[in-house]
Chain A
Amino acid sequence: MIPIEYWLIFSSLLLAIGIYGVMTRRNAIVVLMSIEIMLNAANINLVAFSSYYSSLHPDLGTDATGQAFALFSIAIAAAEVAVGLAILLSVYRRYQTIDVDKINILRW
Chain B
Amino acid sequence: MNTGMFRALLVLAMAFLFVGAILQVSWPEATTMDNTTNEDVGNALFGESDASGYGLVMLFIGLLLLVALLGGVFLAKEEKE
Contact = CB atoms under 8 A, between A and B. Distances in A.
Interface in B56-81: 57, 61, 64-65, 67-69, 71-76, 79
Given A5-B23, A12-B15, A71-B45, A62 B72 contact: no
B37 to A, nearest CB: 7
B50 interface: no
Given A12-B15, A23-B11, A24-B7, A65 B44 contact: yes
A78 B34 CA distance: 28
Interface SS of chain B: helix, strand, loop or mixed? helix
Contacts, number: 118
Interface in A56-73: 56, 58, 62-65, 67-68, 71-72
Interface string B1-14: 00010011011101
Which bracket fits the contact residues of A?
Answer: 35 or more
Interface residues of B, number: 43
Interface of A: 1, 3-5, 8-9, 12-13, 15-16, 19-20, 23-24, 50-52, 54-56, 58, 62-65, 67-68, 71-72, 75-76, 78-80, 82-83, 85-87, 89-90, 93
Interface of B: 4, 7-8, 10-12, 14-15, 18-19, 22-23, 27-37, 40-41, 43-45, 54, 57, 61, 64-65, 67-69, 71-76, 79
